[in-house]
Amino acid sequence: MESVAAPRFSGVPGWLRGPLPILLSLPILALAQWATAQAPFLVYIASIVGVNVILAVSLNIVNGMTGQFSIGHAGFMAVGAYIAGKFSLETKDVYLPFMQSVAASDQLMFVFALLLGGAVAAVFGFLVGLPSLRLKGDYLAIVTLGFGEIIRVIVQNTEMFGRALGLSGIPQRSSIFMVMFWVFLTILAARRIASSAHGRSLLAIREDEIAAEAMGVNTTAYKVRAFVISAFFAGVAGGLFAHFVGIINPGSFTFVKSMEIVVMIVAGGLGSTTGSIVAAVFLTLLPEALRSIFTQLGGGDQTLAQRVDQIRMPIYGMLLVALMLLRPQGLFGTKEIWDVAPKWLSRRRKGMR
């Protein structure tokens, strides 16, 4: 089992090391919010990318670090989206008197909605994970797939959630700042889990579960914890998604969405956080790039470009087959970019001599 190395801040007081990355990210995110204020399409695309990064990195905690095989991640996203969306619809006229402005009150209510959606998704993750994570491999995959479909059928037949029409009129309170802030928190949580004693137990389970049990690791408890953390961030991603599209319906959280996330983490490398990020960004932007290319090929005719969604999954499939043939371990394998980059740079320097 490979050791996990994570960047550390030297010369920084111990009490400041925990919140320091978050404090450093705030001015950068505020600058990004200001720079994209007049670019709504860019904000929309960046929000879609951010949500998919959160989903991929969170699923990587279960499928990559722990070595399980969950294919029902869209179910937890749906729970977070519907709970957060319903909460915002019911409280959209609520003003918190201790806040200085209506906008600040709305943003605080938005944060409450995201935390509520994530918490309910985490509870579902616990309820699903506790009995099912005693299973392994294909059996676990079937259980998680069944959970995702059960959630979709429930919301599709529940009047409170709008049945097949879903929820509409959700306040669009999301922003590039909020989406990227949660992206940063998800990545930070995944890296700190990987470099902790908890993470080493998860890696031990991935490498050899029987040996981990023999060494005293409570494998079921650790797998359930990983499942709960993963479900929480998936629920937050669903809440973010609901608040920048404004309309959600059961068709947004099908098995296809779960498989898209699985493709992202497999393509990036199971166990690699940076691999999940790179693959999520690439596969999210790929349909937009294809749409632009097809528009150019059609001489401005949108008919060909509108077929991108129909051919997206076959293209994903071909890319995945090619990747598995050429690089079965994914782009990064189980390594991170700071593990791969020094070796690549040293080879470049030797080649230049």
Query: Mean pLDDT throughout 56-85?
Result: 93
Q: What is the pLDDT of residue 350?
A: 55
Q: Measuring CA to CA, how many Å separate 72 from each of 7, 124, 129, 299? A: 32, 12, 11, 40
CA distance 210 to 206: 10
Confidence of residue 265 (pLDDT cuts 50, 70, 90): very high
**SS3 category, 167:** strand
State the DSSP code for 165: G
Query: Mean pLDDT throughout 137-150?
Result: 87
The tokens describing 60, both together, are: 């990587």
Query: Mean pLDDT throughout 194-215?
Result: 90
The tokens describing 163, both together, are: 């049945």
pLDDT digits (tens, 9 = 90+) for 221-237: 899 999 999 999 999 99
pLDDT digits (tens, 9 = 90+) for 80-128: 999 999 999 999 888 888 887 888 888 999 999 999 999 999 999 999 8
Name residue, tokens 């998919």: 52
* Most confident segment among 16-30, 32-46, 290-304, 311-325: 32-46
Percent of the chain with pLDDT over 90: 45
What is the value of pTM for the model shown? Answer: 0.89
CA distance 312 to 263: 12
Q: Say which residue, 55 or 291, is predicted with more confidence.
A: 55
Q: Say which residue, 125 or 132, is predicted with more confidence.
A: 125
- CA-based Rg of the chain, rounded to a whole angstrom? 21
CA contacts within 13 A on the Cβ side of 198: 15
All residues at 6 or more sequence positions from 139 whose CB lies less than 8 Å from its CB, including other chains: none
The tokens describing 347, both together, are: 């080879």
Percent of the chain with pLDDT over 70: 87
In 3-state terms the chain splits into helix, strand, coil percentages (rounded to 5) of 75, 0, 25
Strand partners, 248: 167
pLDDT digits (tens, 9 = 90+) for 184-200: 999 999 999 998 999 89
**SS3 category, 31:** helix
Q: What is the pLDDT of residue 1?
A: 47
Q: Is pLDDT above 90 for 21?
A: no
Q: How far is CA 39 from the centre of its chain?
A: 24
User: Exposure string (b/e) for 14-49, b if CB count within 10 Å is 16 or more?
Assistant: eeeeeeebeeebeeebeebbeebeeeeeebeebbbb
Could you count the other beta carbons within 10 Å of the beta carbon of residue 269? 26
CA distance 294 to 303: 9
Dmax (CA) for the chain in angstroms is 70
Least confidently predicted of 12-16, 73-77, 114-118, 182-186 = 12-16
Yes or no: say if 83 and 117 are a contact pair by the CB < 8 Å rule.
Answer: yes
Yes or no: say if 131 and 123 are a contact pair by the CB < 8 Å rule.
Answer: no
Q: What is the pLDDT of residue 130?
A: 84
pLDDT digits (tens, 9 = 90+) for 306-332: 666 677 778 777 877 888 888 888 888
Name residue, tokens 């869209």: 74
Q: What is the pLDDT of residue 340?
A: 67
